[in-house]
Structure 1
Amino acid sequence: MTALIDTRDRGLGAFYGLALGDALGMPTQSLSREQIRQRFDRITTLQAAGADQPIAPNMPAGSITDDTEQAVLVAELLVAGSGRIEPSDLAQHLIDWEAVMQAKGSQDLLGPSTKRAIEMILAGHSPEEAGRFGTTNGAAMRITPVGIAFDVREEARFVEAVKQACQVTHNTNLGISSAAAVAAVVSAGISGASLGEALDVGAHIAQEAERYGYWIAGGRIAARIRWAKQLCAECSNEQLPDLIYDVIGTSVASQESVVAAFALAHQVARGQMLAFDALCMAASLGGDTDTIAAILGAMLGACEGMGAWPAPLIKQIQTVNALDLHPVVEQLLSLRGV
């Protein structure tokens, strides 16, 4: 019974960690480090977005963005398909999701790789072909439900599930391997791995997943995760944000933002900072802050559980977004067989 309770707690920690990181990064997304310093100094709690926020103007503190919304979408498709996602279904749901966002007047729409893939599908291309240019972090940002629903120790089945979730928008070696890395950390954490162990599993699975999808030139995800771990090994918390921003990068490119999330996670694994402090640092970095913090929150929460997150902030996110992730986490864990 203890293992079951711990598994549920870690599943909830992963999904709510994703939402918390997303909401912390919402007001700073697409801003430079200097702009963030001028407006917020640094992020230490949930903040509202100003009128001049380029993507989420005037959104209230605690609001989630596309990262969480699309992860919920993937979770619902997994549950409806008994663990299988049909690429055409994912494509249609993403089209429908963006239409709803546009009707609301939101600027938080599909990312560049997903947008291109959807346009190709609407033009008559197959889902497999549509994702052949997807190298950004869109698949990685919404992959957490796969990590909750599938056990990474069943490696072939796990990677196949990641591929299904990536194919329609990010059917490339970079898109699949970056999503696989994140999902693997989440899955290993839910199975009971420590954060350090789970991060190593993530790098291993990223390397295995590089064999799939269309080949795209670019730094390999697994190699960059390992390089970033070494790069930041002796780094202080004061030095780390600039090193990530200047050297690793914080753009939507998966080789930057996903690797940046791993670099911060390794700092937590080394005992240099607490999980929530790492999320706040991610939200203060500059660049694609909401996605970096969302990915980081999912990985940390899977390994540390709900106790890693301040309960009042989780409550605020639930209230502001009318978001209850408990039922879908239960359903995802049922798919996992726990």
Structure 2
Amino acid sequence: MGLAMGDALGMPAQTLTRSAIQAHYGRIEGFVAPFQGHPVSHGLRAAQVTDDTEQTLLLARRLIAHPEGFDHEAWAHDLLEWEAAIRAKGLSDLLGPSSRTAIDALLAGASSEESGWRGTTNGAAMRVAPVGIMTPPEVETVVARVALTCRVTHNTGEAIAAASAVAMMVSCGIAGRDLDAALNYALEACRLGQTAGHAVGETDMAGRIETALYLAEGGDEEALIAGIGTSVASRESVPAAFGILRLAQGDLWRGLLIAANAGDDTDTIGAIVGAMAGALGGDVPPAAEAQVMAANDLDIDAVARGLLALRGVDCEEVIG
């Protein structure tokens, strides 16, 4: 739910600079509709989610349906069918550049090892939360499962490292670990994930995350965003999400609002912040949850229970 809320809050601001967000909306403090003619979000209403939430649930359903192994070709077709449905609705939030290039290559005959070798954007990290929910916080196991889900579209050290860090934060949160303990595991997973996939893009994602966490220590939102960046590149948006998580000090809603006003890839940064903060026990405001559920057709409860069953725990046990 934290992921969906962060996605929906950031939806009207995605692709905009911080100054453009201010000009169109002031400071975003709740769910708002995109302005008329928004380059990506036109056609959506306040509190509606985007590809971040939809692809997260798509991946979760694929994992639940086939827990014994990950079918790369079936996953590629899942993504293509999802995009076709989005096009049919007349919406513009389609597959990202890495995913589109990789799937075209796969369908043209490239192997799943080859198709994602240039994918360094944040598509893998934005939808990886289900892997963290279904997997206990064992570094090698988490990274191996993350790498499998990344292979088709984001088979690079940068993307796998970023996604591994996010998945481990979620996994640790489900296991009851606090922020600092989870960060230690996440950085370890990030370093191991860096060695997976092709050596393309950022070579030290863990270092980027550590820099973001350092900048966040000063409590200066502007310094964090200026120092790290907020683009679709994993090396910017994922460390920015970690820095915002630190800035928010466990306050889920505060973190989501920082993300929504950060500029550029606001929906994805918000989704990642929300996934991590939610898993770590951040309070989900009931009114905001009600707005998101009323604006979207989301089977979050069923999916969460299915993923926890793969982990071997009961939903009520985790909540308790």
Same fold (TM over 0.5): yes
What aligned pairs does 1:279-318 form with structure 2 within 5 A after superposition?
279-305=256-282, 308-318=283-293
Q: Which of 130, 134, 159 is residue 119 of structure 2 equivalent to?
A: 134
The residue type equivalent to 1:84 in the other structure is G
Partner of 2:318: none
Cα separation, 2, equivalents of 1:168 and 1:78: 15
Query: Is residue 150 of structure 1 aligned with residue 135 of structure 2?
Result: yes
2:79 pairs with one of 72, 84, 94:
94
Say whether residues 1:251 and 2:231 are aligned partners. Answer: yes
Task: Give the gaps of 5 or more residues in structure 1.
Answer: 1-15
Match of 2:180?
Answer: 196
* 1:40 shift after superposition: 1.2
Q: Aligned pairs, how many? A: 313
Aligned to 2:317: none
Misfit runs of 4+, over 6 Å: none
Output the TM-score relative to the length of structure 2.
0.95
Q: Give the SS at the match of 1:69.
A: helix
Query: Does structure 1 conserve the Cα–Cα contact (< 8 Å) formed by 2:137 and 2:168?
Result: yes
**Take 2:83 and 2:201, find their aligned partners in 1: how far apart are those partners?**
29
Alpha-carbon distance, 1:63 to partner: 0.3
1 CA distance for matches of 2:110 and 2:14?
A: 32
1:329 alignment partner, SS class: helix
Counterparts of 1:84 and 1:185, CA distance in 2: 23
Partner of 1:9: none
Cα distance, 1:27 vs structure 2: 0.3
Is the 8 Å Cα contact of residues 163 and 171 (structure 1) preserved in structure 2? yes
CA displacement 1:260-288 (0-9 Å, x = unmatched): 0000111233x6xx220110110011100
Q: Distance in 2 between matches of 1:97 and 1:57?
A: 18
Contact 1:46–1:62 (CA<8 Å) still a contact in 2? yes
1:160 to 123, 144, 152: 144
Structure 1 residue 212 and structure 2 residue 196: aligned?
yes
Identify the residue that residue 21 of structure 2 maps to in structure 1: 36
| Corresponding residue to 2:107 among 122, 130, 134 | 122
> Given the alignment of the two structures, is residue 78 of structure 1 paired with residue 63 of structure 2, yes or no?
yes
RMSD: 1.2
TM-score w.r.t. structure 1 length? 0.90
Q: Name the counterpart of 1:265.
A: 245
* Match status 1:329 vs 2:309: no
Q: In 2 relative to 1, CA 202–83 (structure 1 residues): closer, same or farther, beyond 3 Å?
A: farther
State whether residues 157 and 203 of structure 2, in contact with CA within 8 Å, keep that contact through their aligned partners in structure 1. no
Q: State the AA in 2 paired with 1:195.
A: L
Matches within 5 A, 1:2-41: 16-41=1-26
Q: After TM superposition, give the deviation of residue 83 of structure 1 in Å.
A: 5.4
Distance 1:57 1:40 in 2: 15
Moved more, 126-135 or 194-203: 194-203
Shift of 1:243: 1.8
Structure 1 position 219, deviation (Å): 4.7
The aligned counterpart of 2:316 is none
Structure 2 CA distance for aligned equivalents of residues 174 and 134 of structure 1: 8
Tell me if the contact between 2:2 and 2:252 (Cα under 8 Å) persists in the aligned partners: no
TM superposition shift of 1:114:
0.5
CA offsets 1:33-74 (integer angstroms, 9 cap, x no match): 010001111111111112121111141111000000000000
From 154, 159, 165, the equivalent of 1:181 is: 165
Q: Which has the higher contact order (CA 8 A, sep 6+)?
A: 1
Moved more, 94-103 or 252-261: 94-103
Contact 2:160 2:196 in 1 (8 A): yes
Structure 2 CA distance, aligned partners of 1:225 and 1:279?
Answer: 18
- Which runs of no fewer than 5 residues in structure 2 stay unpaired? 314-320
Contact 1:221 1:255 in 2 (8 A): yes
Decide whether aligned partners of structure 1 residues 83 and 34 sit closer, same or farther in structure 2, where only a CA change above 3 A counts: farther
Tell me what 2:40 maps to: 55
1:300-327 deviations in Å (ceiling 9; x for gaps): 000015xx11111111111111213111
